[in-house]
Amino acid sequence: MQPVATAWFFYGLSAMAIISALMVITRKNPVHSALSLIFTLLSLAGLYLMLYAPFVAGVQIILYVGGIMVLFLFVIMLVNIEHNLREHQFNKQWFVATLATLVLGALFMFVYWKGKTLFPIVNAPAQEQANTQMVGRQLYTTYVYPFEIASILLLVAIVGAVVMAKKRI
Amino acid sequence: MAEIGTIHYLVVAAALFAIGTIGVLTRRNVVIILMSIELILNAVNLNLVAFSRMYGLHGQVFAIFVITDAAAEAAVGLGILIAFFRNKETINADEVDLLKW
Q: For chain A, what percent of residues have pLDDT higher than 90?
A: 52
Q: What is the pLDDT of residues B56-71, one digit of tens each?
A: 888 999 999 999 999 9
Dist CA B84 CA A8 (whole Å): 45
Taking CB atoms and an 8 Å limit, are B94 and A163 in contact across chains?
A: no
Q: Which of B24, B25, B96 to mutate to test binding with chain A, by most A CBs within 10 Å of its CB?
A: B25
Confidence class for position A1, pLDDT limits 50, 70, 90: very low
Burial of A127 (0-12, 13-18, 19+ CB in 10 A): exposed
**Cα A157 from chain centroid?**
19
The whole model's pTM is what?
A: 0.90
Tens digit of each residue's pLDDT (9 = 90 or more) over A40-51: 999 999 999 888
pLDDT at A126: 55
First to last CA, chain A: 60
Band (pLDDT 50/70/90 cuts) for residue A123 is low
Q: Is A161 on the interface with B (CB under 8 A)?
A: yes
Check residues B95 and A128 and name the one with the higher pLDDT.
B95
Distance from CA of B78 to the nearest CA of A (A): 7
Please check the confidence at residue B91 and state whether its pLDDT lies above 70. yes
ipTM of the complex, rounded to two decimals:
0.91
Residues in chain B, overall count = 101
Cβ pair B35:A104 closer than 8 A: no
Separation of alpha carbons B6 and A109, rounded Å: 14
Please name the residue of chain A whose CA is at the shortest distance from the CA of residue B33: A25
Domains of chain B listed by start with CATH number: 6-89 (1.10.287.3510)
Q: Are A37 and A20 in contact (CB under 8 A)?
A: yes
pLDDT of residue A124: 55
Contact B35 A33 (CB under 8 A): yes
Of residues A14, A71, A164, nearest to B80 (C-beta): A164
Residue A153 has pLDDT above 80, yes or no: yes
8 A C-beta contact, residue B12 and residue A10: no
pLDDT at B93: 85
Q: What average pLDDT does range A117-136 have in this prediction?
A: 72
Burial environment of residue A98 by CB neighbours within 10 A (0 to 12, 13 to 18, 19 or more): middle
